[in-house]
Structure 1
Amino acid sequence: MNHPPQTGHPSTRDLTPSIASNVLANATCRTAIQYFSATETDVTDLDELVDYVHEEVATITAPEQARIELVHIHLPKLADYDVIEYDERSEVIRYRSYPQLEAILDLTTQSEGGDEDDG
């Protein structure tokens, strides 16, 4: 699995196109990242993110489905790529801003005109 290079300071972290593609390949991951932009916060709890993902992703039909996918698939993936920090005990999620990722996400969202799960 590819990981972003650790350069010491968050503002100097680079995000390769390959990593950005892996992170943004799934509607649930994209929506989780969009949550932080939409709410203008860097920290949230799992319940808030579950509700947001359930409301925004067409293929998520129940809050419990959103919770399971986030906890077992998407939050670990985003943490592996250093996009978030997720504390499983407190269920607190801290977003680590990547301006490059956000710019790509904005362009992707504009060109798609919406979110459908494609991977």
Structure 2
Amino acid sequence: MEKSDDRKRSPISLDDLLNIAADPLRRRILTYLATQSENECSVTELAEHLHSQGDGTDRPKRRLLLRLHHVHLPKLMDFELVTYDTGTNDVQYHGDSRLEEILDQIAPMGDSSSGESTE
């Protein structure tokens, strides 16, 4: 992950960064957004990508869309890591170099969870 823009915002505490990175689905969301042109895509495209990766279950994509809309994107918005325009259905990643460093350290460890967060 290499695309942080570290906007002028309040610094995110280490505890908050670790909490964000602790969720496997949020890690996948952030990694995907960071690889997109201008760090942006539609929520539908994001959900399709995440769903295509599978999580070891047969959960419907609709459930994933609901979790993105009601849980994960709002949490990432709270820390100004993404903007989510519900009118256009677009999500844009704004990055944070410290979070990206954490994600880069976690990535080689793999992901033994199902991808379903408890939040």
For structure 2, the 5+ residue unaligned runs are: 1-5
In 1, are the aligned partners of 2:42 and 2:91 still within 8 Å (CA)? yes
- The equivalent residue for 1:39 is 36
Separation (CA, whole Å) in 2 of partners of 1:19 and 1:104: 12
- Residues 69 and 12 from structure 1, CA distance in 2 versus in 1: closer, same or farther, beyond 3 angstroms? closer
Alignment correspondent of 2:81 = 83
Structure possessing the higher relative contact order (Cα contacts under 8 Å, 6 or more residues apart)? 2
Alpha-carbon offset, residue 18 of structure 1: 0.8
TM-score by length of 1: 0.79
Which residue of structure 2 aligns with residue 74 of structure 1?
A: 72
In structure 1, distance between residues paired with 2:37 and 2:104:
15
Moved over 4 A (4+): none
- 1:103 corresponding residue in structure 2: 101
How far apart in 2 are the matches of 1:65 and 1:59?
Answer: 15
CA distance in 2, matches of 1:87, 1:63: 20
Whichever residue aligns with residue 104 of structure 1, its letter is I
Aligned AA (1:64): R
RMSD: 2.2
Q: Percent identity?
A: 22
3-state secondary structure, aligned to 2:45: helix
**Native 8 Å contact 2:47 2:65 kept in 1:** yes
Count of paired positions: 110
Gaps of 5+ in 1: 1-8
Of the three residues 47, 51, 72, the one matched with 1:54 is 51
